[in-house]
């Protein structure tokens, strides 16, 4: 039988080792990510990005280098799963990663921490959705979707839609930007159109601008007026942030002209000015 003092000593050693591991883990993760970012970027991946991300060649060399580093980390940490027989290829992974990583510039280096797996369907997929009818009766309906972001650890995309979006950059619609903006919003466990901001003082300005712009969009949609921001953004504040993000990256000049306050606050948040990539 092991003496109680020996058991206590072993227990204290184990607890200390666990505590040290917990304290050192963030440093290990940073070291591993820095190492990945410093690695040479595969030429085959670069070829995919140059073909599928039209704005890449307009970015500064510093922005390009930073983006490629983010992509290497992203692809190392995230799992891609093909659905309905879709085979995951390099093109699928690199294309999705390149678009998603546009949202990581500045001091946002958490790499969508809640996300573990990206499920990719070959086309729109069908889900069962519970809907409240006019008579307060809950009905189950089958609806087609192009993408969705879960607050747990998964994100779903239609590869057909991703391909359509990369062919039509500047139309204001991008399922990857949309769903990964939701991931930023959901990082604190809630989807309410308010991502984690770098400074506490930024929340007041964010709330003021976003609330004003959201209500303005709701009014214009209700009156049937034309809007730069897609009408789907009037669904709720969470969808407004996601749709505004799509518009910011794909229609920067129009968004800045019609909604300068919204453009400015998104520019500060994303540490980018997409107007520089479009002429």
The CATH class given to the 192-279 domain equals alpha beta
User: How many C-beta atoms surround the C-beta of residue 60 within 10 A?
Assistant: 10
Q: What are the residues whose beta carbons fall under 8 Å from the beta carbon of 177, sequence distance 6 or more?
A: 99, 100, 102, 103, 242, 245, 246, 249, 250
Kindly indicate the confidence band of residue 21, based on its pLDDT and cuts at 50, 70 and 90: very low
Rounded to an integer, the average pLDDT of 202-208 is 96
The pLDDT of residue 18 is 47
Mean pLDDT, the chain, whole residue set: 88
We find that the CATH architecture of domain 12-102+112-168 is Orthogonal Bundle (1.10)
The pLDDT of residue 35 is 86
Structure tokens at 225: 């007026």
8 A C-beta contact, residue 119 and residue 150: no
Cβ burial of 248 (10 Å; 0-12, 13-18, 19+) is buried
Rounded to an integer, the average pLDDT of 118-123 is 96
Rounded to an integer, the average pLDDT of 229-254 is 97
The pLDDT of residue 19 is 43
**Entry pTM:** 0.86
Rounded to an integer, the average pLDDT of 57-73 is 96
| Residue 88 pLDDT greater than 80, yes or no | yes
DSSP string of 125-189, one letter each residue: EEEEEEEE-TTS-EEEEEEEESEEE-SSSEEEEEHHHHHHHHHTTTSS--HHHHHHHHHHHGGGS
| Residue 232 pLDDT greater than 50, yes or no | yes
* Spans of all domains in the chain: 12-102+112-168, 192-279
Give CA torsion, residues 4, 6, 7, 12, to 10 deg: 130
């Amino acid at each position: 039988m092991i003496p109680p003092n020996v058991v206590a000593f072993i227990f204290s050693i184990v607890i200390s080792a666990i505590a040290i591991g917990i304290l050192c883990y963030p440093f290990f993760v940073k070291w591993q990510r820095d190492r990945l970012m410093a690695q040479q970027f595969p030429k085959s991946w670069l070829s995919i990005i140059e073909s599928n991300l039209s704005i890449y060649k307009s970015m500064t060399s510093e922005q390009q280098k930073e983006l490629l580093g983010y992509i290497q980390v992203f692809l190392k940490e995230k799992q891609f799963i093909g659905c309905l027989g879709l085979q995951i290829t390099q093109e699928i992974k690199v294309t999705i990663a390149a678009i998603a990583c546009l949202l990581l510039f500045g001091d946002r280096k958490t790499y969508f921490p809640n996300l573990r797996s990206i499920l990719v369907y070959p086309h729109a997929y069908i889900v069962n959705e519970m809907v409240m009818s006019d008579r307060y009766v809950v009905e189950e309906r089958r609806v087609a979707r192009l993408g969705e972001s879960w607050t747990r650890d998964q994100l779903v995309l239609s590869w057909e839609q991703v391909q359509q979006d990369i062919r039509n950059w500047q139309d204001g619609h991008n399922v990857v930007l949309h769903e990964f903006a939701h991931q930023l919003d959901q990082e604190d466990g809630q989807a309410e159109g308010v991502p984690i901001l770098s400074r506490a003082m930024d929340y007041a300005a964010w709330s003021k601008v976003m609330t004003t712009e959201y209500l303005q969009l709701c009014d214009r949609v209700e009156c049937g007026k034309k809007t730069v921001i897609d009408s789907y953004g009037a669904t709720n504040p969470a969808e407004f942030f996601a749709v505004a993000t799509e518009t910011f990256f794909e229609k920067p000049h129009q968004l800045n002209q019609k909604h300068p306050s919204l453009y400015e606050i998104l520019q500060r948040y994303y540490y980018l000015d997409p107007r520089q990539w479009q002429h």
